[in-house]
Amino acid sequence: MIRPASRWMTRCAMALLLGGSALASSANAQDQAQTDTAATLHADTPGATVDRHIFSQFAEHLGYGIYGGIWVGPNSKIPNIKGYRKDVVEALRALHVPLVRWPGGCFADEYHWRDGIGPRANRPVRINTHWGGVTEPNSFGTHEFMDFAELIGADAYVSGNVGSDAPSAMEEWVQYITAPEGALAQERAKNGRKEPWKLPYFGIGNELWGCGGNMRPDDAAGITRRYATFVKPPYGVKIQKVASGANGPDTNWTEVMMREAGKQIDGIGLHYYTTPGETSGAPKGRGSATTFTEVDYARTMAKTWRMEELLTKHSAIMDKYDPARRVNLAVDEWGIWTDVEPGTNPGFLYQQNSLRDALLAAVNINIFVHHAERVRMTNIAQMVNVLQSMILTDGAKMVLTPTYHAFDMYRPWQDGTALPLDLPKTWYNREEWTAPAVTGSAVRGKDGAVHVALVNIDPTQPHHLEIALTGLNAAQVSGRILTAGRVQDVNDFATPARVAPVAFTGATIRDGKLSLDVPAKALVVLDLR
Ligand code: AHR
């Protein structure tokens, strides 16, 4: 059965898929929108559970993502808890981060886990050949990561080295982390941890089509079958094995992996980054994080909206091989990837984070919620100081990015039940770039309340909504809004709260209808009781 929300998403995706004629289609959709004001929240036909792991993060040995961002060491002057930055730990705990993926990324297929155990002073210093050619001290290793995940209350997702290590290394690493007894458990205890850690997810390499070994799909599927065989948890314990997934639109990768290795895995990844593209009038590159025109903005939003099409296509392939939807489509790297901040190391991927990026995150989260039956984990890239991060640090200073605030506003979605939400089909267009102006999602949270998220990417005009509530007798509505003067606005160390959520009082419920103007360039999250 196609739910109303899915029908809406399908129509929006269709317009984008039509390529050259997309704008014409969207113009039709716009005409319709003027008459089609019907919007409905179907609380009486609940959908899938929104797995909290949809809000997961990714922390790689890259730039200041780990060193300086999370780990400063116990002797640092920066306030820390056993070496972890206190401010960062507190911010992440407050966010209820459900899971962290580590140690990469491309770093994972160069990482030899034995380098990162034992007394820190004895660990080898290596070169991080993939990211900046800088030294890797290995002072943040298995114990530091697993303890960090526990400290912030998150599950661990460790990516193994398929590209440059043997299956036995992977087998021993998993045992070292999870075994209750035996030689590897004793070694772990000697290194300070008697109890096994929980390891609910394990990645069978990363980007095997690229930095993980430049493999062809058939070779990667064969290798995945082989390596996955040796990821062996203790008796009675389950580890979900996640295969290295496709590069964006490469559906053949998903097809071959599902066909050849689908029975050996519990999840398959998908990596899709939104690259804004050449900034108007600026030198060629991925596009600036902070200086962009409205056309650049529209291009970015149209490109990010492509996630809907990608999930639909990859899911359809997975449905062929796995109609029961046992295998999770894990979007284990996503987010906006811009040029680095001027003057910073190009290998460190340090970029600022604007209101645009928070709205982009919200658009993607709404898409993930609509695909919640198949998409049960996603990992924004990355957690601190790298790409679309939650947090930026500079020495002892820390700032929460607009994206952090968007994630915070979606906290009630974690393990909630998706409720279909039909919205009018209005489109935002600039030149050839088009994307839905207003997207949304809704859940019945674990707290029993209904939560509705609405994001208006249109930077110039508000959108009025009247949403009929079916199967819901709510009388009160309260909420928060994330917006700013300009979509380019950022939080920096001088003005850390320029973009931060405030109370939203512009919504009312009357005669079974929720009414509001969603302001221009804003994310609004409402609680209905
Ligand atoms: O997140 C940065 C890099 O992007 C990751 O290391 C890699 O998997 C991807 O190409």
In a domain, 210, yes or no: yes
| Cα separation, 455 vs 369, whole angstroms | 14
| Cα separation, 384 vs 66, whole angstroms | 8
How large is the average pLDDT for residues 148-155?
98
| Cα separation, 455 vs 406, whole angstroms | 10
Measured between alpha carbons, how far is residue 187 from residues 37, 114, 139, 167, 181 in Å? 64, 11, 18, 20, 10
Of 349, 440, 362, 414, which is closest to residue 388 (Cα–Cα)?
Answer: 349
Calculate ∠ Cα 200-325-49, nearest 5°: 70
Tokens of 228: 């996955």
- The structural domain count of the chain equals 1
Please indicate whether residue 207 is annotated as part of the active site.
yes
Residue 412, Cβ neighbours under 10 Å: how many? Answer: 19
Tokens of 48: 């899938």
Which residue has its alpha carbon closest to ligand 1 atom 3? Answer: 105
Rg of the chain over all Cα atoms, to the nearest angstrom: 23
In a domain, 429, yes or no: no
HSE (CB half, 13 Å, CA atoms) of 512?
Answer: 10
How large is the average pLDDT for residues 210-223?
98
pLDDT tens digits, one per residue of 243-283: 999 999 999 999 999 999 999 999 999 999 999 986 666 66
In a domain, 425, yes or no: no
In a domain, 464, yes or no: no
Beta-strand pair 397-400/391-394: antiparallel
Query: In 222-376, which ranges are E strands?
Result: 240-247, 267-274, 328-336
Please indicate whether residue 333 is annotated as part of the active site.
yes
| Range 164-171 contact pairs with CB under 8 angstroms and sequence separation of 24 or more | 164/109, 164/110, 164/213, 165/112, 167/226, 167/227, 167/229, 167/230, 168/230, 169/112, 169/113, 169/114, 170/227, 170/230, 170/231, 171/230, 171/231, 171/232
* CATH for 175: 3.20.20.80
pLDDT, position 285: 82
| Cα separation, 390 vs 353, whole angstroms | 9
Atom nearest to 131 CA in ligand 1: 6
Instruction: Please name the residues in contact with 36: beta carbons below 8 A apart, sequence gap of 6 or more.
Output: 424, 425
| Cα separation, 463 vs 468, whole angstroms | 16
In a domain, 105, yes or no: yes
Give the number of residues written for the chain. Answer: 529
In a domain, 481, yes or no: no
Q: Tokens 């999370």 appear where?
A: 70
pTM of the model: 0.92
DSSP state of 343: T
Which residue has its alpha carbon closest to ligand 1 atom 5? Answer: 105
Atom nearest to 206 CA in ligand 1: 8
> Does the pLDDT at position 380 exceed 90?
yes
Residues in a beta bridge with 334: 272, 380
> Does the pLDDT at position 236 exceed 70?
yes
Enclosing domain of residue 94: 52-265
pLDDT tens digits, one per residue of 417-443: 999 999 988 999 999 999 999 999 999
> Does the pLDDT at position 49 exceed 70?
yes
Atom nearest to 104 CA in ligand 1: 6
Q: Residue type at 508?
A: T
3-class SS of residue 260: helix
pLDDT tens digits, one per residue of 281-336: 666 789 999 999 999 999 999 999 999 999 999 999 999 999 999 999 999 999 99
Residue 200, Cβ neighbours under 10 Å: how many? Answer: 15
Confirm or reject: Cβ of 333 under 6 Å from ligand 1.
yes
In a domain, 485, yes or no: no
Which residue has its alpha carbon closest to ligand 1 atom 8? Answer: 105
Of 127, 140, 123, 146, which is closest to residue 68 (Cα–Cα)?
Answer: 140
Q: What average pLDDT is seen over the chain?
A: 92
| Cα separation, 42 vs 441, whole angstroms | 11
In a domain, 253, yes or no: yes
Confirm or reject: Cβ of 144 under 6 Å from ligand 1.
no
Q: Tokens 């109303």 appear where?
A: 4
